[in-house]
């Protein structure tokens, strides 16, 4: 009997200590989670306010009605930018990884300059360039796309370079011994195996371009207001309205869904690593 | 199916010569192994035959067709890689079909061929699996099926079994041989593993430092090494130094060389380039040294006396080191007589060196 108490005492103490530690750990994590989503939740909350009092989806109806063009423009520029980034980055990555180029590091550093350039500097430079030399596309859809590509193609290039470096050359060689020429080898074997890099690049480009604001502020024409720019313009001109919060929530939600889908579709297949499995 | 001819094939990387004027003629349907240590140029030679590495000089022909500038995908070869190199994003069936779809074969034909290949590698019905769902042996078998599906002219193997465990290696090497015999295709196989080379080849080419040291059958390579490298790389050998006393026309018209060596006389088949007075190395395999029951044959050719200084019982074989007048001889004994020797440590014995081979020493540099 005395033995049981001797053992039981400290063990009960230990288990309550564990409960406390575990509780603190959970609280710590939840605290940060709450801080991260708080701004988003506030926006959603305010977007549900009805101007006539109470709560409704009026803001969303208005956002979809009058900001539709802005949302579509944001999506269009994002998709075109992603396609162009892929078309630029794959050949560039092959050149950098597979061929001996003198001054490779310098070139790579130069290619990444736009990543370290402050948005305002970038916006100013581009608006000067468009005004000075490229007035034909100034303020147009293609001016936006050109700016986004210049600003974000390193986000595609770097993951593709990493994926290509990790891709054993043996797959391409096997394809060639089986009678596949250069293009077939590239399209059927190597590009599918670069999937992890390309999809990572797509995700990064999407998140950045879809939500881009500062550069857009400098170069967007009158008829080319992206969603992010519209939010700013309305706030600056007319102050807060639930519909603005609704537009912001829609953008946030779109980005969230894209990231979620990315991990759902590609996560299991690609994040574990495709080859040598 | 083709005859493969290499003519002074050379590959240089800057100042390094990876492959140095290798010439060979590999007959239609022959199974030839390039055997050598890593870095000897065997893989580079194979990759030049595949067109994956460009020649610095020399020529490669399939039959009479010059292949030097034919790109890999037009050579119609099959290459088995060290890692199976199955495309991880394609199913087993798509992997096997890959070569056929490259040639725009009709769908029905492709499907029939895939089924046939799956039957052949005893993986019927597994076409929908992904490579990552297969065992190592199955992956390598699919790789073989993939390379055979296009009916290539030449089969090339780049150490295809080196990444597998031993049991699997043993089974698969005979599968490879069986497939080659059945399809009667010319095969060139690269390995550093001599037991693999001995098991499957019609002919072996031993390579070292970018050159072919010796080409011949297993028996030629094992019993009549032509260079010191071959004698020491293939199996174990004891090396003794000696001087040629005479060349004699031995029995059956095969010339014999008589060598004075460590106080005894050794007779061996004479290589072509020897003359009396030449300094030579005499090679005797540990398993070709016999421990004699008594000293009654002392003084005869190849018989000498020594003392057992080390005994290691390895189960099927007994390894001994015998000190013969300061020359350590490694001896390995299998069969039941090894049991009688177990308690003979430090005993004095007579041994006979059999099947010695003689190689002329290279001139001192």
ipTM of this predicted complex?
Answer: 0.84
Interface probe with B: pick from A174, A187, A190, A266, most Cβ of B within 10 Å: A174
Q: How far is B79 from chain A (nearest CA, A)?
A: 6
Structural domains counted in chain A: 1
Contacts of B257 (CB under 8 A, 6+ apart): B244, B246, B247, B248, B267, B268, B269, B270, B271, B274, B280, B358
Options 3.40.50.720, 3.40.50.2300, 3.40.50.20, 3.40.50.300; CATH of B4-228: 3.40.50.300
pLDDT in tens, A25-45: 999 999 999 999 898 889 888
> Is residue B287 predicted with pLDDT exceeding 60?
yes
> Is residue A186 predicted with pLDDT exceeding 90?
yes
Chain B interface includes A176 (CB < 8 A): yes
pLDDT in tens, A79-126: 999 999 999 999 999 999 998 888 888 888 888 888 888 888 988 888
Class of domain B236-292+301-360: mainly beta
More confident residue, A75 or B253: A75
Chain A interface includes B14 (CB < 8 A): no
> Is residue A276 predicted with pLDDT exceeding 60?
no
Instruction: Answer whether residue A261 is part of any domain.
Output: yes
More confident residue, B110 or A61: B110
- % helix, strand, coil for chain A, step of 5: 80, 0, 20
CATH of the domain at A247: 1.10.3720.10
pLDDT in tens, A121-141: 988 888 888 888 777 777 788
For residues B19-27, give the mean pLDDT. Answer: 95
Q: What is the mean pLDDT of chain B?
A: 91
Chain B interface includes A180 (CB < 8 A): yes
Considering chain A, what percentage of its residues have pLDDT values greater than 90? 32
Instruction: Answer whether residue A181 is part of any domain.
Output: yes
Chain A interface includes B306 (CB < 8 A): no
Instruction: Answer whether residue A231 is part of any domain.
Output: yes
Question: Considering only alpha carbons, which residue of chain B is nearest residue A196?
Answer: B89
Give the whole-angstrom CA distance, residue B93 versus residue B86: 11
Q: How far is B77 from chain A (nearest CA, A)?
A: 6
Domain ranges for chain B, please list them: 4-228, 236-292+301-360
pLDDT for residue B48: 96
Q: What is the mean pLDDT of chain A?
A: 84
Question: Considering only alpha carbons, which residue of chain A is nearest residue B143?
Answer: A174
More confident residue, A15 or A163: A163
- Low-confidence winner among A94-108, B11-25, B93-107, B261-275 (lowest mean pLDDT): B261-275
Interchain proximity B73–A181, CB inside 8 Å: yes
More confident residue, A78 or A115: A78
Of B79, B87, B131, the CB nearest to A177: B79
Question: Considering only alpha carbons, which residue of chain B is nearest residue A181?
Answer: B73
Question: Would you say the CATH fold of B236-292+301-360 matches that of B4-228?
Answer: no
pLDDT for residue A1: 42
> Is residue A67 predicted with pLDDT exceeding 90?
no
Window 64-83 of B: residues touching A by CB (8 A cutoff) are 71-79, 81, 83
Window 114-173 of B: residues touching A by CB (8 A cutoff) are 131-132, 146-147, 150, 156
pLDDT for residue A89: 94
> Is residue B9 predicted with pLDDT exceeding 90?
yes
* Residue A277 pLDDT class (50, 70, 90 cuts): very low
The first and second tokens of residue B128, run together, are 């929908």
Interchain proximity B73–A180, CB inside 8 Å: yes
Asked if residue B350 lies in contact with residue B305, where contact means CB atoms within 8 angstroms, the answer is: yes
Instruction: Answer whether residue A46 is part of any domain.
Output: no
* HSE value, Cβ hemisphere, 13 Å, CA-based, for A102: 0
Using alpha carbons only, what angle is made at residue B315 by residues B313 and B319, rounded to the nearest 5 degrees?
Answer: 40
């Amino acid at each position: 009997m005395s033995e049981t108490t001797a053992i039981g005492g400290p063990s009960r103490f230990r288990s309550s200590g564990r409960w406390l530690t575990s509780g603190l750990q959970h609280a710590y994590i939840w605290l940060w989670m709450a801080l991260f989503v708080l701004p988003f939740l506030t926006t959603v909350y305010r977007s549900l306010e009805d101007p006539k009092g109470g709560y409704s989806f009026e803001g969303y109806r208005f956002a979809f009605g009058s900001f539709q063009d802005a949302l579509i423009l944001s999506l269009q520029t994002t998709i075109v930018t992603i396609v162009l980034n892929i078309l630029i980055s794959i050949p560039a990555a092959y050149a950098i990884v597979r061929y001996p180029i003198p001054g490779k590091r310098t070139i790579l550093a130069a290619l990444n300059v736009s990543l370290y350039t402050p948005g305002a500097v970038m916006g100013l430079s581009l608006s000067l360039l468009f005004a000075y030399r490229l007035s034909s596309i100034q303020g147009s859809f293609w001016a936006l796309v050109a700016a986004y590509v210049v600003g974000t193609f390193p986000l595609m290039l770097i993951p593709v370079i990493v994926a290509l470096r990790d891709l054993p050359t043996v797959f391409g060689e096997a394809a060639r011994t089986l009678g596949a020429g250069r293009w077939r080898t590239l399209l059927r074997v190597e590009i599918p195996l670069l999937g992890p890099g390309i999809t990572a690049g797509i995700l990064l480009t999407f998140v950045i371009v879809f939500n881009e604001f500062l550069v857009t502020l400098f170069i967007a024409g009158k008829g080319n207001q992206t969603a992010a720019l519209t939010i700013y313009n309305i706030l600056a001109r007319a102050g807060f309205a639930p519909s603005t919060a609704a537009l912001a929530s829609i953008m946030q939600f779109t980005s969230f869904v894209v990231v979620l889908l990315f991990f759902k579709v590609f996560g299991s297949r690609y994040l574990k690593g495709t080859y040598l499995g | 199916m083709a005859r493969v001819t290499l003519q002074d094939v050379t590959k240089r990387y800057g100042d390094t010569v990876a492959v140095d004027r290798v010439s060979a003629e590999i007959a239609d349907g022959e199974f030839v192994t390039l055997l050598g240590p890593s870095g000897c140029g065997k893989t580079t030679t194979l990759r030049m035959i595949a067109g994956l590495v460009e020649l610095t000089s020399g020529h490669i022909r399939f039959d009479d067709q010059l292949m030097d500038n034919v790109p890999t995908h037009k050579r119609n070869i099959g290459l088995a890689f060290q890692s199976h190199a199955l495309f991880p994003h394609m199913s087993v069936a798509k992997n096997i079909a890959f070569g056929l779809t490259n040639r725009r074969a009709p769908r029905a034909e492709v499907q029939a061929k895939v089924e046939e290949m799956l039957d052949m590698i005893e993986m019927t019905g597994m076409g929908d699996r992904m490579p990552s769902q297969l065992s190592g042996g199955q992956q390598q078998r699919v790789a073989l099926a993939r390379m055979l599906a296009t009916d290539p002219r030449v089969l090339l193997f780049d150490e295809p079994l080196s990444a597998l465990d031993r049991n699997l290696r043993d089974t698969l090497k005979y599968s490879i041989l069986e497939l080659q015999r059945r399809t009667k295709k010319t095969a060139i196989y690269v390995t550093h593993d001599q037991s693999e080379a001995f098991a499957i080849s019609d002919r072996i080419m031993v390579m070292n430092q970018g050159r072919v040291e010796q080409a011949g059958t297993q028996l030629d390579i094992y019993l009549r090494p032509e260079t010191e490298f071959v004698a020491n790389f293939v199996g174990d050998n004891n090396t003794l130094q000696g001087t040629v006393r005479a060349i004699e026309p031995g029995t059956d018209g095969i010339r014999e060389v008589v060598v004075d060596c460590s106080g005894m006389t050794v007779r061996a088949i004479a290589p072509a380039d020897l003359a009396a007075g030449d300094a030579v190395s005499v090679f005797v395999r540990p398993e070709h040294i016999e421990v004699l029951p008594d000293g009654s044959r002392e003084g005869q050719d190849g018989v000498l006396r020594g003392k057992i200084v080390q005994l290691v019982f390895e189960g099927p074989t007994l390894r001994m080191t015998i000190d013969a007048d300061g020359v350590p001889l490694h001896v390995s004994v299998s069969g039941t007589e090894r049991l009688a020797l177990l308690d003979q440590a430090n005993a004095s014995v007579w041994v006979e060196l059999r099947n010695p081979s003689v190689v002329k020493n290279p001139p001192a540099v």
